[in-house]
Amino acid sequence: MSARPVVVVTRRLPEAVEQAAARDFDARLNRDDKPLGPDGLKEALRSADAVLCTVSDKLTADILSAEPRRARLLANFGVGFNHIDVEAAKARGLAVSNTPDVLTDATADLAMTLLLMVARRAGEGERHLRAGAWTGWRPTHMMGTQVSGKTLGLVGMGRIARAVAGRAHGGFGMRVIFHDPYPPSPEVARSLGAEPRERLEDVLRQADFVSLHCPATPETRHLMNRERLALMRPDAYLVNTARGDVVDEAALVEALQSRRIAGAGLDVFEREPEVSRGLLELENVVLLPHLGSATTETRVEMGMRALENLRLFFAGSPLRDRVA
């Protein structure tokens, strides 16, 4: 048996990360990059000392009950961990870590990308051009909505939301309002040009653009439901780079189809990788395949952060990013 800890890596990672993993651990890499599935995840828990997992791995209570279990750590590649039954992991004595901080800028950039794309009909316009339907410039063709100077409402005010606020206020002169049950200090909010609102409903009623930045928890599941979507202005847009199940996707499709809201920009979906057919058929929505952290720099940093937690764990030191 190898003297080095055995680590199952559930998906392909950037080459630099896989090389570091192979150097420091007995790393079982996923060369085919196919999801392990329930049986593969159970086998990983039985055969490895740790599992370096991703958002595509649904680590349910049933999977975590695999016996005889050898694994003692789930090192998650990503900041969100709602795909892991954390309470079940705790009950089984499994530690869980994540990779915060390193994906803040990439995800904030993408939130602004979605906001700009849906406001200026960029996705629709590219499809129009590629289909050979463009007949030339004309004054009323594909008019969108101006972004500069508008009001951005942030739901949640953590690291990524603050980075979005800085970009929106400093770069586009947007008025920024936000709701968070655990708000930043008044000094931090003022530095970002952001104004707190006591109630989520106030943000939804006042914003031209609503951007979601709350964690996925039982309390935030379907936070944006039919009733809350109805509070948004008919000329307002919804942007989601948080987690898909924060939005009731069926209710969103209804709101978009009936033009109760003007449009949406989505990077995450309720049942990934499945996307509601209604969304696919609409022109007033921009759809991206969960690209929030998808820059080379960020994905490498995420991997290195996951490996740092693995090294600390097997050295008997406190995890840098322990969530359970």
pLDDT (tens digit, 9 = 90+) per residue, 260-274?
999 999 999 999 999
Shared domain check, 170 and 128 = yes
Cβ atoms 284, 254 nearer than 8 A: no
- With vertex at residue 162, the alpha carbon angle to CA 318 and CA 116, rounded to the nearest 5 degrees, is 130
Q: Helices H, strands E: what count in the chain?
A: 13, 12
Q: Are residues 39 and 52 in the same domain?
A: yes
Within-domain flag for 66: yes
Q: Pick out the chain residues at pLDDT < 50.
A: 1
Do 201 and 304 lie in one domain? The reply is no
Residue 322: inside a domain: no
Q: Which residues contact 216 (CB under 8 A, 6 or more apart)?
A: 80, 82, 242, 243, 245, 246
- Residues making up the chain, counted from first to last: 324
CATH value at residue 132 = 3.40.50.720
Give yes or no: 290 in active site: yes
Both 96 and 123 in a single domain?
no
Domain count, the chain: 2
Domain extent for 246: 104-287
Say what the pLDDT of residue 3 is: 85
Our CA dihedral for 295, 174, 156, 275, rounded to 10 degrees, sits at -50
Residue 60 shares a structural domain with residue 165: no
Q: Is residue 87 domain-shared with residue 158, that is, in the same domain?
A: no
Under a CB-based contact definition with an 8 Å cutoff, are residues 215 and 243 in contact? yes
Is the domain of 306 the same as that of 282? no
Does 130 share its domain with 278?
yes
User: Is 0.85 topped by the overall pTM?
Assistant: yes
In this structure, what DSSP letter does residue 189 have? H
Catalytic residue among 83, 162, 179, 290: 290
Q: Rounded CA gap, 265 and 210, in Å?
A: 10
93 and 111: one domain?
no
**pLDDT, tens digit, 9 for 90 and up, residues 41-82:** 999 999 999 999 999 999 999 999 999 999 999 999 999 999
Active site residue 128: no
Distance CA 234, CA 255 (A): 9
Q: Each residue of 14-50: pLDDT tens digit?
A: 999 999 999 999 999 999 999 999 999 999 999 999 9
Same domain? For 147 and 244 the reply is yes
Task: Tell whether 53 and 129 lie within a shared domain.
Answer: no
Catalytic residue among 272, 311, 320, 322: 272
Q: Let me know: does 261 contact 237? Beta carbons within 8 Å.
A: yes
> Is 93 among the domain residues?
yes
Of the residues 243, 260, 299, 305, which is catalytic? 243
Q: Is residue 234 in a domain?
A: yes
Residue 283 known to be catalytic: no
Residues 128, 235, single domain; the answer is: yes
What does the radius of gyration of the chain's CA atoms come to, in whole angstroms?
21
